[in-house]
């Protein structure tokens, strides 16, 4: 991983068709999805658990957070 003025370069190892190779992607923008899940019932249960601990319920779900690409590892 390395940072540049225009983004953060992340190198991945790709495994496909019985072979492996590396590819580097330049990430310029990152968005994190929070308060999300495939199972809506489990998500609601988790939100209730957090409410019991004093964490405010989100106004809607999912919530998207922008973050600096440099924070990705």
Quote the number of domains for the chain: 1
pLDDT digits (tens, 9 = 90+) for 24-44: 999 999 999 999 999 999 999
- Could you tell me the residue range of the domain that residue 20 belongs to? 2-71
What per-residue confidence (pLDDT) applies to 4?
Answer: 56
What per-residue confidence (pLDDT) applies to 6?
Answer: 79
pTM of this structure: 0.57
CB 64 within 8 A of CB 35: no
C-alpha triplet 37, 72, 65: angle, nearest 5° = 45
Task: For 11-69, give the secondary structure using H, E and C.
Answer: EEEEEECCEEEEEEEEECCEEEEECCCCCHHHHHHHHHHHHHCCCCCCCCCCEEEEECH
C-alpha 18/C-alpha 68 separation (Å) is 35
Q: What residues of the chain score a pLDDT lower than 50?
A: none
């Amino acid at each position: 991983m390395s940072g540049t003025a225009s983004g953060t370069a992340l190198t991945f190892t790709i495994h496909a068709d019985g072979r492996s190779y590396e590819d580097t992607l330049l990430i310029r923008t990152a968005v994190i999805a929070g308060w999300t899940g495939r199972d809506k019932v489990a998500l609601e249960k988790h939100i209730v658990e957090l409410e019991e601990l004093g964490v405010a319920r989100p106004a809607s779900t999912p919530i998207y957070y922008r973050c600096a690409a440099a924070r990705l590892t």
